[in-house]
Amino acid sequence: MKTILGVDTGGTFTDFVLYREGQLSTHKVLSTPHAPEEAILRGLAEMGLENTLLDSLYIVHGSTVATNAVLEGKGVSCVFITNRGLRDMLTIGRQTRRELYNLQPEPPPVPVAREFCLETGGRLAADGNELEPLTSAELAKLSKAIETLAPEAVAINLLFSYLDPRFEIAIEDALADQYFVSRSSSILPEFREYERGMTTWLNAYVGPLVAGYLKQLQQGVPQAAVSVMQSSGGTIAANQAGRQAVHMLLSGPAGGLAAAQFLGSSIERTRLLTFDMGGTSTDVAMIDGALQLTSEGKIAGYPVAVPMVDMHTIGAGGGSIAYVDSGGMLQVGPESAGAAPGPACYDRGGDCATVTDANLILGRLRSDAFLGGDMQLSEPAACRAMRSIAKPLGMSPEQAAEGVIRIANEHMAHALRVMSVQRGIDPRGLTLVSFGGAGGLHVCALAESLGMQQAMVPIHAGVLSALGMLVAPRSRQLSRTRIARLVSMPHEQIEAVYSELEVQGRQELIAEGVASAEIEVRRSLDLRYEGQSYYLNLPWDDIRSCEAAFHRLHAERYGHELDLPVELVNLRVGLASCPTSLVLASQSAGISSSPYDQVSLYGLEQPAAVYARDGLVAGQQLTGPALFTETISTTYLAPDWCCEVDPAGNLLLSYQAE
């Protein structure tokens, strides 16, 4: 197997996990948001991956370039092309109100300025018949208008183009030599013109940025093979990723879920509730055997209808800033101190109190053990920042710090309930999996708040998203809309669409070096009751079996089934290479290691033992309170909790209170 390097670019740190000759090594550097490739190249140099080694190096990268561009509104100028009478499609949207009882709501920002929304012919009816042609004169007029506007990218979204893409292809052929072109019949050949249009526009909005960034990264490592993590939990070659940038909006978080699934299956725990707490945000998701995907995701309020991991993200991380609001209440986040200047304790010019500062003040972070001792934390700086919060509240810095932690925990507990309780899933039957640089400090409190008694802090939890890059398969998720009553849809037509999608996916994966025999295929379909807006996804078997399965799933999900015809909406094909045969080295067994220190933690009478996590041995059992320090994170084992070190080095936590 080639040497594999997983790289996850976060808001604060860029994480590296290297797999070479059966051994894992990890590394972290501060991110460089203005040019993310700089942090990656610096990390490569610091890890000793010289140019002579790059020809055998396979890099899998989780990038935030697309995500940050959307969140910050810093994409490229883009023209949106649609049929006559529909230029305001993206602005009107679904006309849903974010604030139900606000009679004078603030209008949401307009995605594309009206003068950049162009109309043309080439209109199809709902059955695919031509209603209006696309003439050469209209193409010339369209090209002239776009030349005047001088955009960097063009998004094309014509009605019912998923039935027949010829008009969109004609426009693309006329423009592709001069602009980055994104057409809906390629990006998302599904119904719902607003969601399809928004997804196509987002792809054009960030596509040139992603393509440019990946080109710079590849130039920095010319001999290495580079792939990029997609939002669906699989990878795609970097030279193809720029054209499909919208598939990278959850690139990093998807890596963490891929690793959690891999590690959970290794210990036969397949029902997991995960939270990834980094410096800027926390991502929460559910894994039930396989990664849960959704085509109803949102980024910055915009619908993104391509398949992506089903997760809930909140602005709560180690860098989340604490403040006292105008009503005198303590608040935490969503604003973050980021990597520069960072939390006050980084001593890099930051003067705002953060969650990281609070953990340091409470003794849960060791000032001399952060990043393996490579970065010294300043407790005096943290205390100075926390006093600005504590003074107006009439508290000590320690009391204020405890309040900051409680509020941050409640934000994250609410997010965990959104993905479990609010979906009818009892979290008490799940295992809570914590990762991210800050996750281990909060795992016990969050598990207790949900009544969960089992948790896991994986090996290399602080860089788990980067580890997930190593185990993620190369994959494609393809779809096609075909709306009809299920029983009236000929089986041969369904099979024909599936075959067409499968051929396309196989060709793309084979072009990346995947052997045809190693490609696994999963066929599924979206079904709904006739007249419904939303649908459920089920594995494809045959028409009668799928109809019966839909009734059962609808009753399970919503508590009832209806005496209505079942309607087919979308056909989906997921293709993936065989799972990576990555074998983690077993933790050595032997004499249980002893703590190297004891510390007093605020609010606890009993001192906490401090262990070096890399010194723990397989089978070792420990009780809280305790701290486990490692190069990339710290884990806090609270009172009433105990943990066992499994053969791979994961910490398996269990609640032992009477």
Mean pLDDT of the chain: 90
Are residues 82 and 158 in contact, defined by beta-carbon separation less than 8 angstroms?
yes
Q: What is the CATH number of the domain that holds 129?
A: 3.40.50
Inside any domain, residue 445:
no
Place of tokens 């710090």: 401
Tokens 């600005």, residue located:
388
Confidence of residue 85 (pLDDT cuts 50, 70, 90): very high
Check whether residue 84 and residue 167 sit in a common domain: yes
pLDDT on residue 200: 97
Peptide bond into 397 cis (omega under 30): no
Is the model's pLDDT at 186 over the cut of 70?
yes
> Does residue 158 share a domain with residue 59?
no
Give mean pLDDT, residues 21-28.
83
> Could you tell me the pLDDT band of residue 268, with boundaries at 50, 70 and 90?
confident
Residue 117: predicted pLDDT? 97
Q: Do 486 and 561 share a domain, yes or no?
A: yes
Query: Is 1 a residue whose pLDDT tops 60?
Result: no
Please name which of 166, 187, 193 lies closest in space to residue 82, comparing C-alpha atoms: 193
pLDDT > 70: percent of the chain: 96
- Pairing relation of β-strands 308-309 and 330-336? unpaired
What's the distance, CA 501 to chain centroid? Answer: 25
Cα dihedral sign, 468-471-474-478: negative
Q: What's the rounded Cα separation, in Å, for the pair 216 and 6? A: 18
Which residues sit opposite 480 in a β-bridge?
Answer: 571
Side-chain-side CA neighbours of 13 within 13 Å: the count stands at 27
Give the whole-angstrom CA distance, residue 525 versus residue 494: 10
Per-residue pLDDT, 282: 87
**What is the 3-state secondary structure of 602-656?**
CCCCCCEEEEEHHHCCCCCEEECCEEEECCCCEEEECCCEEEEECCCCCEEEEEC
Per-residue pLDDT at 298 exceeds 80: yes
* Whether pLDDT at 245 is above 60: yes
Asked if residue 277 lies in contact with residue 443, where contact means CB atoms within 8 angstroms, the answer is no
Other Cβ atoms less than 10 A from the Cβ of 479: the count is 23
pLDDT at residue 587 tops 70: no
Question: How many CB atoms are closer than 10 A to CB 382?
Answer: 28
Q: Is the pLDDT of residue 50 over 70?
A: no
Q: State the pLDDT at residue 585.
A: 64
Whether 490 and 553 share a structural domain: yes
- Give how many domains the chain has, as a whole number: 3
Range of the domain at 198: 75-210
Same-domain status, 29 and 66:
yes
What local confidence, expressed as pLDDT, does residue 349 receive? 86
Question: Do 548 and 491 share a domain, yes or no?
Answer: yes
Dump pLDDT digits (tens) for 499-509: 999 999 999 99
Question: Is the pLDDT score of 99 beyond 60?
Answer: yes
H helix runs in 529-568, sequence order? 543-558
| End position of a domain, from candidates 251, 272, 303 | 251
Per the model's pLDDT, the better-predicted residue between 657 and 59 turns out to be: 59
Predicted local confidence at residue 373, as pLDDT: 65
Residue 316 binned pLDDT confidence (cut-offs 50, 70, 90): confident
- CATH classification at residue 231: 3.30.420.40
Q: 579 with 473: CB under 8 angstroms?
A: yes
- pLDDT of 589 reads 63
Spatial neighbors of 476 by CB under 8 A, at least 6 apart, are 234, 236, 504, 505, 508, 509, 574, 575, 576
Residues 242 and 121 in one domain: no
pTM: 0.84
Mean local confidence (pLDDT), 26-42: 87
- The better pLDDT of the pair 371, 264 is held by 264
Least confident of 83-87, 296-300, 454-458: 296-300
194 and 122, same domain (yes or no):
yes
pLDDT reading at 658 higher than 80: no
Over range 375-392, report the average pLDDT.
Answer: 92
Task: Specify if 51 maps to a domain.
Answer: yes
CATH code, domain carrying 534: 3.30.1490
For residue 334, the model assigns a pLDDT of 86
Quick check: 464 and 260 in contact, CB under 8 A?
A: yes
| Residue 385 scores a pLDDT above 90 | yes
In percent, the amount of the chain with pLDDT more than 90 equals 62
Question: Do 81 and 36 share a structural domain?
Answer: no
Angle at 280 between CA 454 and CA 24, to 5 degrees: 60
How far out from the chain centre does Cα 199 lie? 17
pLDDT of residue 430 exceeding 70: yes
Q: Say if 500 falls within a structural domain.
A: yes
Are 90 and 204 contained in the same domain? Answer: yes
322 close to 330: Cβ distance less than 8 angstroms? yes
Least confident span in 204-218, 307-321, 377-391: 307-321
Express each pLDDT in 482-491 by its tens digit: 999 999 999 9
Confidence (pLDDT) at 372: 64
Decide if pLDDT at 453 tops 90.
yes
Among 546, 577, 608, residue at a domain's last position: 577
pLDDT of residue 142: 96
Residues whose CB falls within 8 Å of the CB of residue 402, separated by 6 or more in sequence, listed in order: 358, 362, 602, 603
The 3 state secondary structure assigned to 274-324 is EEEECCCCEEEEEEECEECEECCEEECCEEECCCEECEEEECCCCCEEEEE
Domain closes at, from 210, 231, 259 = 210
* 626-656 pLDDT per residue, tens: 999 988 789 999 999 999 999 888 999 999 8
Distance of CA 279 to the CA centre of its chain: 15
Q: What is the pLDDT of residues 556-566, one digit of tens each?
A: 888 899 999 99
Q: Is residue 216 part of a domain?
A: no
Stretch 602-623: mean pLDDT: 91
Query: Which pair of tokens denotes residue 551?
Result: 């009734």
**What is the pLDDT confidence band of residue 347, given thresholds at 50, 70 and 90?**
confident
Residues 472 and 7: beta-carbon distance below 8 Å: no
CA proximity to 277, closest of 459, 96, 415: 415
- Say if 563 falls within a structural domain: yes
What is the spatial distance between Cα 230 and Cα 249, in angstroms, rounded to a whole number?
8
In 360-430, DSSP assigns E strands to none
